[in-house]
Amino acid sequence: MNNLESYPPILRQLSHHQKQLPPNQKPFEENNLIQDDLDPIPVIDLECLDNEIKKLEEACKDWGLFRLVNHGVPLTLLKQLQELPKQLFSMPFESKQASCSATPITYFWGTPALTPSGTTLTTRDPQNINWVEGFNVPLSQLSNFNSQNPMLESIRHLLMEYERHVSRMAIRIYEGIVKKLEWNLKGTKSYLSTKTGTVRVYRYPQSHDINIGWGMEAHTDSSVLSILNLDDQVTGLEVLKDDHWLTVKPISNTFIVNLGDIMQAMSDDRYKSVTHRVKVNKHGERISVCYFVYPEEDVVIESSKYKSFTYNEFRAQVQQDIKTIGYKVGLARFRQNEDF
């Protein structure tokens, strides 16, 4: 859809000034981008996870992400999670902003929402604007949320059903990882708390000028795990593997699972928090729905590689760095013997 009235003002302005790429000009870092007809991303079968623990370990260690199949989420629900947000995002910008003024759901644009509480860290500098808008939904508050907007009310019911599936998936995956790391599961249950679960629904508008900026700049997630339901038609997500960027293929009825910073710290760097980014697409806009899950906020994360910290402390440091220096430093702030 090309309804500019639905775009945030800054993206609306940038859209008016878009230019087509000159014939011989290549987009960002195309020479450093792997394009392969095959899909090299490791595939994990959730139904057979007990038989795939070694494969899961290799994916966590070598990639920091994997593609999840046989996950048990109804295909009809996944399609609804693509179609209903498209209708919501097509509303005028002012209506979207107003509809979330007094609800747990927050609307953001120009930058990702970086905290589970829904704090929006937007910027007005066009040079730093990400080509994205979205809704941040703390799932634990959905049952108490009653919107007068029929569209938001429909999404609330949809996400309440979705939460049952993604929380189940997160627990099952986490248990598989804990088993391979030979942790005491009873003592580490609070390291992943489904009551912290947050969904962010992203819209990446189409842009004819793919050099206009990023849908989302390169970053790692601050979560334990992130479970991503991608648009199954339009590409954009890229992951860093062996110093090369790899395009993640949109494959219907699958999820992409990312390991986050907290999992990397918990595993003493045995597993990695994958660096990823989103590129704008000139052929169409994208909708993606990501579930983030964290530890309980006051649980102390202990590691031989990092100073002990709680998730509250980690989140506060990320916010402070973004505010003061303009970007997330992340785990490096907590590494043993690092002097900032």
* Helices 150-181, 53-62: crossing angle, 10 deg rounding: 100
Distance from C-alpha of 170 to C-alpha of 293, rounded to nearest angstrom:
8
The per-residue pLDDT for 340 is 58
Per-block average pLDDT, block size 10, for the chain (340 residues)? 74 64 42 57 95 94 97 95 92 85 81 53 57 92 79 89 97 89 64 94 87 88 96 89 94 96 93 94 90 93 92 94 88 83
* Vertex 229 angle, CA 315 and 14, to 5°: 75
pLDDT of residue 179: 80
> Tokens at residue 218, please?
């390169």
Residue 113 and residue 119 in contact, taking contact as beta carbons nearer than 8 Å = yes
Closest to 311 in 3D by CA, of 168, 116, 60: 116
Helices 75-89 and 150-181, axial angle in degrees (round to 10): 130
Q: With CA atoms as reference, report the closest residue to 287 among 247, 233, 213, 240.
A: 233
SS3 142: helix
Per-residue pLDDT, 32: 42
Check residue 127 and give its pLDDT.
57
pLDDT at 26: 43
Length of the chain: 340
What domains sit in the chain, N to C, each tagged with a CATH number?
4-15+28-300 (2.60.120.330)
pTM: 0.89
